[in-house]
């Protein structure tokens, strides 16, 4: 692992902060690395975009301020509009497929999208959306060991929702493994082919 | 309220992070101001000092990194040793009376101490130490409205521990009002008198 700056954003109630806590705990408690998490208070009262900044590092983090994220995970269109431009050239953008439409993205950005809301609904609990996204994140970024994140999910959710959150993690993780193996997505490949035939 | 940088530190399990969340919520959700909180992950696994950085502000916080805290609340000797030197000249130091011994403190620092562990034990729940400290902080700093912090305590603790945490808040708050009214503490006044008679 090298020092990695991450922003996770969405709207209040989606588990943005919990996602950051899970990933921070996975890195630090279960994998021997270091992490800091910064959260803003207030958006849940004001209706704005909710966001968390997370830094994962092999050494102690002296400066917890994220300026140009290497990875951004976005779960609402408003958050996309507010934060996407911060993403580092060469960075990774992870989106909830049905909630975010990507536009005006500059630079060489890898985009991975996951239908986490639909997967969570299939599991019967829309609120586990964030655990699906955490599983997807784990598979596509390969920053953290899957077992470390599993343990952190297990530690971080209420006992009566542990099982469904772990299922959600697995579903997101598997979806992410497939997305990584088939990157870039078929649609973009088709677009490139169409261009090359012009 | 003006922009105020705060560090809260202690050891894992004392509620350091929860204290910061309560004060951040009080400022933002219940008082219309803004707040950011940064936490380090890992000390709870490594046995080191646990710390949270909190910024309270009348306007959105663009830069969440605390460098020279205006206020520091410390609940362990190790955390005191690690962080006390950061405190701004003219700042406020709040300590748990039985867990922290103040030494080598430079600059013009106001020190307030609260026997929060003993008060929490009188209430029958040692774990509400942090709510006693939050009440004490509210009284001595006067940064936040007491009612805003009461609501944030109520929102932030599990329902079955709400009552004892609110009692802990009140006991800390009352202790803090007395400490403010009688500042500097009698012992220091005696020391000054002793000096002036030399």
**Which residue from B24, B35, B38 is facing A36, i.e. has the nearest CB?**
B38
Please report the pLDDT score of residue B12 as a whole number. 84
Q: Give B198 to chain A, closest Cα distance, Å.
A: 47
In sequence order, what are the residues at sequence separation of 6 or more whose Cβ sits closer than 8 angstroms to the Cβ of residue B72?
B6, B7, B8, B9, B83, B84, B86, B87, B91, B92, B93, B94
pLDDT mean by block of 10 residues, chain B; 198 residues:
94 91 93 92 73 93 89 96 94 97 88 97 96 98 97 95 98 97 70 44
User: Nearest CA of chain B to the CA of A62: how many Å?
Assistant: 10
Q: What is the pLDDT of residue A45?
A: 60
* Rounded distance between C-alpha atoms, residue B138 and residue B168, angstroms: 13
State ipTM.
0.83
Which chain B residues contact residue A45 at CB under 8 A? 28-29
Please give the pLDDT value at position A190: 45
Contact A29 B40 (CB under 8 A): no
Cα–Cα distance between B52 and B43 in angstroms, integer? 11
- In this prediction, residue B1 carries a pLDDT of 82
* Nearest Cα to Cα of residue B79 among B56, B64, B55, B95: B95
A158 touches chain B (CB under 8 A): no
Answer whether B120's CB lies under 8 Å from B127's CB: yes
Which residues of chain A carry a pLDDT beneath 50?
189-198
Mutate to test the interface with A, among B27, B28, B41 (most CBs of A within 10 A): B41
Per-residue model confidence (pLDDT) at position B68: 94
User: Measured between CB atoms, which of A27, A42, A65 is closest to B34?
Assistant: A42
Task: Give backbone dihedrals phi and psi of A62, rounded to 5 degrees, phi first.
Answer: -90, -20
- A36 contact B CB<8A: yes
* Whether the model pTM is above 0.80: yes
What pLDDT score was predicted for residue B62?
84
């Amino acid at each position: 692992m090298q020092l990695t700056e991450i922003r996770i954003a969405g709207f209040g109630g989606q588990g943005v902060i919990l996602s950051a806590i899970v990933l921070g705990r996975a890195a630090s408690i279960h994998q021997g690395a270091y992490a800091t998490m910064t959260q803003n208070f207030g958006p849940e009262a004001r209706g704005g975009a909710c966001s968390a900044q997370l830094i994962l590092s092999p050494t102690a983090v002296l400066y917890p301020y994220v300026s140009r994220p290497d990875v951004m995970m976005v779960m609402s269109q408003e958050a996309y509009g507010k934060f996407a431009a911060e993403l580092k050239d060469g960075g990774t953008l992870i989106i909830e497929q049905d909630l975010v439409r990507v536009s005006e993205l500059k630079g060489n950005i890898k985009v991975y999208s996951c239908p986490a809301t639909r997967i969570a609904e299939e599991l019967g609990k829309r609120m586990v959306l964030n655990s699906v996204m955490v599983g997807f994140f784990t598979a596509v970024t390969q920053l953290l060991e899957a077992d470390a994140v599993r343990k952190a999910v297990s530690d971080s959710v209420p006992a009566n929702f542990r099982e469904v959150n772990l299922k959600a993690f697995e579903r997101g993780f598997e979806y992410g493994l497939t997305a990584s193996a088939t990157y870039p997505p078929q649609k973009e490949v088709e677009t490139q082919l169409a261009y090359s035939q012009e």
